[in-house]
Amino acid sequence: MKTSEIRDLIDFISKSGLNEVNIETKELKLSVKREPDQKVFKSTPVVAPVATQAIAAQPVAATQNAPAAKVEKAAAEVSSGKKTVEIKSPMIGTFYRSSNPDTPPFVSVGDKISKGQTVCIIEAMKLFNEIESEFSGTIVKAPVENATPVEYDQVLFVVELD
């Protein structure tokens, strides 16, 4: 048997879904064995029914997607009547509300902030990056929990402008 024929046979076996093949002739003994494909288990999240008021009071999940962020922003503008803006993560990393566990958070919901004020820290590759506000206002939402991973462009805070 030629090398090209062996390659073709191996390709055929891999496409057929067989896990083991043994071929024996007068001049050749060939055994091909592969590990069976691993089973992939899929799960769907269980959603418990919750009252509408409870949903409005809960912070936005850290894994929100962009359309949900726009809906939240629009809802905040409609309910308060004032303009809100979002402070978004400029990088991927771990979000921290304070410089260490023993100190109070840089900002909390209801706090007034000014332009250039540090609002949180994001750790990326063992570097701690202070995130500063680009505007003045009042923190109305803080959807990300302390010491959780954040994605690029994820909403960290919603600020109502003064």
For residue range 111-155, what is the model confidence (pLDDT) as tens digits? Answer: 999 999 999 999 998 899 999 999 999 999 999 999 999 999 999
The answer to whether 150 touches 122, Cβ cutoff 8 Å, is: yes
Say if CB 97 and CB 130 are below 8 A apart: no
Whichever domain contains 153, its CATH number is 2.40.50.100
Number of other residues whose CB lies within 10 A of the CB of residue 105? 14
| Residue 85 and residue 29 in one domain | no
Give the chain's domain count: 2
Residue 42 forms part of a structural domain: no
Q: What is the pTM of this model?
A: 0.52
Owning domain of residue 120: 55-161
Amino acid occupying residue 90: P
